[in-house]
Structure 1
Amino acid sequence: MIRQFLLAFCLLAAALTPSLAEERIERFVSDVTVEGNGDLLVTESIQVWAEGRQIRRGILRDFPTTYHRADGSRVEVGFDVQSVMRDDLYEQFTTERMTNGVRVRIGSAGVSLNTGSHTYVIKYRTTRQIGFFKSYDELYWNATGTGWTFPIDVAEARITLPEAVPIQQSAIYTGPQGAAGKDAIIVEQKPGLIVFRTTKRLPVANGLTVAAGWQKGVVAEPTTMQRIEAILHDEPALKFAAVGGGLVIGFYLIVWLLFGRDPRRGTIIPLFGPPEGMSAAGVRFVHEMGMDDRVFSAGIVGLGVNRCLKLFDRSNGQSIQRLDGGHPADAAEKALEKSLFAKGATVPLSNSKHEVISSARSSLHRSLKDSYGDLFSNNTWAAVAGLAGSILVTVLIIAAYGESYPNDGAVIFGGVLIPLLPIMFGCSMIRSGRRLAGNRGLLQVVIGLLTLLAGVTVGIGIFGTNLGFGYAMAPAIVPYVLAAFGALGFGWLKAPSTEGRKILDQIDGFRQYLSVAEEDRLEFLNPPKKTPELFERFLPYAIALNVENSWANRFTGVLAAAGVGAAVSSWYVSNQSFTPDNVNSFADRVSDNLATTIAAAATPPGSSSSTGSFGGSSSSSDFGGGSSGGGDSGGGGGGGGGSGW
C-alpha cells in the first residue's frame, strides 16, 4: 500500500513539474570585442527556458540607443544588428524603433517554440561607447541590462581589446538600476582580455554592469571633426540652429553691406540754421530716418513757434488751440496743422481724442515721406525677409526638438517661445531709448536691458531645469539672437542716399551749434546774436535733436534779462513758470501724452556617475565617461532588457 502511494505521488510530481517550471534566462553571455576605431562588435548568447507563457514564439531584446549626459544633453549611439540565430540556425527578426532605442523582435508569428531550452545568439555592432579620459580609456558596459522580465541564472561579460595590453583597472556592479552590488567576480584576466561572471542568480529587473580601463592609444580617440559631427547627430536641432541661424544672420550682414552702409560722412562744421526750408519735424524725420513720437512733438512745438497753434499745459491736462495767421515751416507742418484741426479749433491731448491724434500723426508721416522719403531707405523688405527667415528657423528648431525630446513639448515651446517677446521688446526699447536725450533715454535703455535679460533668463531657466545646461540648450539660444537681430534690424538696416548724407551732414553741423557748451569755440565763426527770438526759433529743432537742455542752458542769462515767459507766451500757456530748467520736462510731457494717446489708438554611454570610474580625471571625450568609482548597475552603455512574445 505504501509502495503504491509513493509511486502515485512521484507520478503526480513528475506531471506537475513542467507546468510549474519557471521561464528564465539560464545563461547570458555578452562577448564584447573592442575595435581600434572605438566600435564594439558584440555577440550576445542568451539561453532561455521556454514554457509557452511569455516565451511562445521568441524573445524581445530591447537596446537603448539614446542616453543623457549629466548636463541633460542627448547622446545617440549606433546600433546595427548583423545576425540572429536560434539553436545554431539563423532566425527571423525585425527591428522596431522605440522612444529611446531599438527593439529586436526575434521569431516568427507563425512558429511556436517547443517547451525547453533555446539558445539565441545576437550579433550587433554599436558605436560611441568608449570613454576617453586624460590618463586612460574605458568601457563602462551594462552587459545584460536591468529591464528583463525574467531572472538570470548566470551572467557573464567578456571584454577583448584590440591589442594585448594590460587591463589597468576594473569594476563590477550587480542588482537593479542604480544599485552597486558586488555579486560577481573576475574569472579570467590577461593582457587584452577580462571576463566577469555573476556569483548569484539575478532576479527580475536586475543586471550585471562591468567596467574595464586600459592605457591610452589602444583605441583611436575621435577627431575634432568627428566630435562635432557627433554633437550635431545627438542634437538635430543644432543643425537647424547652426545652418538656419547662420543663413539668416548672413543675410542680414549681406543686406547691410550692400544696402545698409551709410555713405561716407563729410566734414562736419557748425551751422547756424537747419537745412533750408526744413521744419523741426522734417529734421527729426531725416535724422532718425523714420517716424517716432518726437517727430510729432517737434511738429507741434514747431507749429506753436510759427504761431499756428497755442499749447495749454495745465494741471488737468494738455490741449492745443488753433491760431489764425501762422505760417507753417514746410508742407509737413501744414499737413499736420490741417489734420489736427479738421474737426475743431481746440484739441485736448488726451485719449478722448485719440482718433484725431492718430490721424494727424499719419498725415504728418505721409507728408514727411513725400517730402524727404528719397533721402534714405528703410530697407524694410530686408528686415521683413529676415524676420520671416527667423520664424522659419525657429519652427524648424522646435520641430527638431520635438523629435529628440518627445515628452518635453511644453518645455520646448516655453523655453523657445516665451522669451522671444521680452527680447524683441527689450531690444526695441534700447533702440528707441538711444535716440532720446537725458534721463528719459537712459531710463528707457535700462528698462530695455532689464527686459531683454529677463527674457533670456526665463528661457535659460526653463531649459536648464528641465533639459540641462548642455548642448540641448544651445539651439534655443539662436531664436533669441534672431529675435534681437529682427528687432534691431529695422534700425540698423536703414541707410541714407548720397543726397541724404549731405543733408545729414548739415543737420549734424546744426546740432553741433545747438549743443555746444563752450561758446568760445563758435566765436570765430560769427554766430548769430543770442536773443529770446533766436531761442524760440530753434527750440523745436533742439527738441527734435535731443539737445533742448544744452540749447536752453546757453540762454539762461538772456532769458532772465528779457523775461523768460515772453519768449514763448504767444504759443505756450502754463500754470507753472516756464524756465530754462524745465524745457526738457516740457518736451517730455508733450511727447509722453502724445505717445499715450497714439498707443491707445493703436488700440550618454560611459557617462561618469561621479568623478570617473577609477577616480581618474574628467573625460576629455564629448561622449565618453567613467564608471567604477561611483558607477552602478544599469550605468554605462549597452543595457536595456527584454521579454518573450
Structure 2
Amino acid sequence: MRYIYLSIILLLSSVSIIAQEEKIYTFYSDVTIEESGMIRVKEEIRIFSKGDVFKRGITRSLPLTRRDIQNNRISIDYSVSEVLMNGSPVNYFTEREGGDLIIYVGDRNIFLDPGFYIYEIYYETAGQIGFYEDYDELSWNVNGISGKMIDSVSSVVRLPTGANIISSHCYTGRFGDKESDCISEINEDGSLTTVVNNLPSNEMLTVSVGFTKGVVNQPAGFETNVFSWFDKNGMAVVSAVFILLLSVYYRITWKKYGVDPPKPVAIPQFSPPDGLSPAAVGMLHKGYFIDDLITASIVNLSVKGYLSIEEIIEKKGLFGIRKDRVFSLTRLNNDYSKLPAEEAVVLRELFYSDDNIRLDGKYDRDVAKMMQNYKKSLNKQFRPVLDEGINIKFHVVPWLGFVLYIIILFYFINNSLMHFEVNRTALFITIPLLSILYIIYAIQIVRPGERKLHYRSNIKGLKMYLDVAEEKRMQFFNPPSVTPEKFEELLPYAIALEMEEVWGEKFEKALLSSAVQPEAYQPAWYRGTYVNAALFGHALNSTLSNTVSHAATQPSSSGGGNWSSGSFGGGFSGMGGGGGSVGGW
C-alpha cells in the first residue's frame, strides 16, 4: 500500500513539473544608498527551470552606461561580491559584451534539475546618483527585462542617515513609457517599497527617489546643471520666430514676383505660330525635351524636300513569319543654312558619312551622337524661355534659414536640452510645418515668363485648328481649307503635339466632303505602307520614333543591371541606472 502512495505522489509531482512554466517568477531588489555615493544592491531572483532556457543557471546583464535627465551618458562600473543559489555560494564569472557587464551564474559542466531556484546577487556600483540644485536623486531600473511575464517585481530603496524622501515616483512599461501601474509606500524607517504584479514581458519597473540634498557626497568636479527658461522652451521660441519670418518673406516675395501675369487670349492659328519649328512647338508645349520630337523634325525635313522616307518590310525568322519594319532615309538637299538649328543638326549629322542611312533599330553611333546634339540644340534655344519665372534666387533665403535652424537644433541636442517636452513638441510641429510652407511657396513663386505665355497661347490656337472638336467654332475665323498641302505642312506640328491622328481624321473628312471626287492621297516624300491619312501620321510617329530611339540607345552589357534622470513627475520607464536583462545559459 505504501508503494502505491509513493507512486501516486511521484506521478503528481511529475505532472506538476511538466505543467510549470519555465520563467522568472519573482524579482526583488534591495538598494542601499551610502553617504559616499556608493550603492549596495542585493537582487533576489526566483526562477523555475526545465532545462530549456535555464540549463546551467541564469545570466544577469547590467548596463555599463546610463543617461541622466539631461540625457548625458554616464559610465558605470560594478563590483560583484557574492552570488548564492538557494542560500549557498555558487560559481559565477563576468564578461563585458555589447556595452553590458554579463554575470554568468552556474557551472559550465553542471546542468540544473527541473525545479524552483532562488538566486541572490550582491554587487556595488557608483555614479548612479543625480545631483541637482535643490535635491539629489536616484533613478533605478529594478528588474532585468525578461521575455516572459514576471509574477512579482518589488524593491526597497534605503537612504543614508539624515536623508529624507522629498518625492518619489514609479514607472512601468517599455523604455520611454510613463505608465505607473505600480504601488509605492514610504516605510517607518524612511525607506521606500515599490511593488508591481504581473509585469508583462520586456517591461521593467523604474523607481525614482528624490531626497535631501547634501547628505550624499557629490563627486569632485561635478557641477549641478541649472536650466534656464530658455533652455526649457527655447526651441519653441526659435521655431515660432522662424515660421513667422519665413511666412512674411514668402508673402512679400510672392506678392511682388510670384503672381502670374494675365494669360493672352488664344486665337486660332492656321500656320506655324511665330515661325517656330515643330520640335520647338512640342518642347514649348510640354515644357521639356522628349526623344519623340525627332520624328516631327524628320517629317518636317521630308515635307520641305530635304529628305525622303522609305518604309521597308523585311521578313525574318522561320519561314519569314516575323516582319521587321526598317526605314531608309535619303538626303535630297544638303543646304541646311535656312533650317532651324535642331533640324540642321539632324540633316548634317544623320548623313555625316553617306546620303542614305538605314534605321533598323540596331545601335548606331552616328544616330546616338545626332540625338545628343539634337537635344542640346533644343535645350539651348528654348530652355531659357521655359525657365523664365522659376525665380530660383528666392529659394536662397529659405535654404539658409533651414541651415541655421538645423545648427540651432544641434546646439540644443549637444547641450542635452531636447529632453524637455516643450522643445520636443516644437520640433515635431515645426519640421512638417516648415516643409509644407516651403512646398507651397516653391509652387507659388514660379511665375511664367511673358514669352512662354505668348508662345503657349499661339500653340493653343494652333491646336484649336488641328482639333476636329473645334471645327464649328473655327468657322467664325474663316479657316483655310484642309488641302493636302496644308495637311502636310502641319502634320509635323500635329506629331509634336501628339495630335497626328486627330489631324489625319480632319484631313480625311475634308477629302471625302470635297465636291470634286478627290484623287487618292499619297505623300510624295514617303514610300511605304499607307492606309489613310487618319492612320498614317500616327503609325509613322510611333514606328519611326521607336526605331530612332533604339538606334540611339547603346545596348547594355551582358552583366545587366542598367536600364537606359531628475524626474519629479517628468520621468519614464527605463530612465535610470540598473536594469539590463535576465536570461539563461
TM-score (ref. length: structure 2): 0.49
- Whose Rg is larger? 2
TM-score (ref. length: structure 1): 0.45
